[in-house]
C-alpha cells in the first residue's frame, strides 16, 4: 500500500488541492449568503425559499463532498511514507486548523438548517465577522504546510 501511495503521491496531492479549493470556495461564500439572507430577505416568502435552497445545495452538493474529498486525499497524503514528520510542530497546527475548519463547516450546516426552518438567531454583522473564520484558519493551515515550522 505504501508503494502505491508513494507512486500516486503527485496525483493524490493534486486531487487534495482541487478538493480544498472547492471546499474553501463554499466556506467563503456561504456566510455571505447568510448575511444577505439575514439583512435583505428575512425568514419567509419566495426569496427566502430561494435563498434557503441555494444555501442547502451549496452546503450539501458542493461543500459536503468537497470536505469529504479533502479529508480522504489528505489522509492518503498523511499515510504516504516520508511526507509528515510528526516530531515537528507543523503537522499538529495543520491538524488543529483542519479540525477547526471542519467544525466551522458543521456549524454552518446547522445555520442552513435553521434558515430552512425559518429560524435565525444571528445578525448580518455577526455573520460578517464569522465569515473571517475560514480565512484565519486557511492562513494557519497553509503556513503550517509551506513554512513547516
Which residues form the domain of 137? 2-147
Dihedral-angle region of residue 42 (phi above 0 means left; psi in -120 to 50 means alpha; beta otherwise): left
Our count of domains for the chain comes to: 1
Contact 27, 60 (CB under 8 A): no
What is the helix (H) or strand (E) element at residue 79, kind and residue range? helix 64-79
**Closest alpha carbon to 114 in 45, 50, 43:** 43
Chain segment 52-76, per-residue pLDDT in tens: 999 999 999 999 999 999 999 999 9
Chain segment 14-50, per-residue pLDDT in tens: 999 999 999 999 999 999 999 999 999 999 999 999 9
pLDDT at 25: 98
Q: Which set of grid coordinates corresponds to residue 115?
A: 434558515
Task: Work out the burial of residue 143: count CB atoms within 10 Å of its CB; fewer than 13 is exposed, 13-18 middle, 19 or more buried.
Answer: middle
Chain segment 82-108, per-residue pLDDT in tens: 999 999 999 999 999 999 999 999 999
Residue 149 — pLDDT band, cuts 50, 70, 90?
Answer: confident
Amino acid at each position: 500500500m505504501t508503494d502505491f501511495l508513494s507512486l500516486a503521491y503527485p496525483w493524490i496531492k493534486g486531487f487534495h488541492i482541487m478538493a480544498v479549493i472547492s471546499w474553501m470556495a463554499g466556506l467563503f461564500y456561504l456566510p455571505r449568503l447568510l448575511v444577505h439572507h439575514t439583512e435583505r430577505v428575512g425568514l419567509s416568502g419566495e426569496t427566502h425559499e430561494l435563498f434557503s435552497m441555494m444555501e442547502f445545495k451549496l452546503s450539501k452538493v458542493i461543500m459536503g463532498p468537497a470536505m469529504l474529498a479533502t479529508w480522504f486525499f489528505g489522509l492518503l497524503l498523511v499515510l504516504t511514507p516520508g511526507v509528515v514528520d510528526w516530531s515537528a510542530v507543523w503537522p499538529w497546527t495543520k491538524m488543529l486548523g483542519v479540525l477547526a475548519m471542519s467544525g466551522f463547516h458543521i456549524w454552518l450546516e446547522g445555520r442552513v438548517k435553521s434558515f430552512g426552518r425559518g429560524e435565525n438567531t444571528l445578525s448580518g454583522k455577526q455573520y460578517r465577522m464569522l465569515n473571517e473564520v475560514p480565512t484565519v484558519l486557511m492562513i494557519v493551515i497553509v503556513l503550517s504546510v509551506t513554512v513547516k515550522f
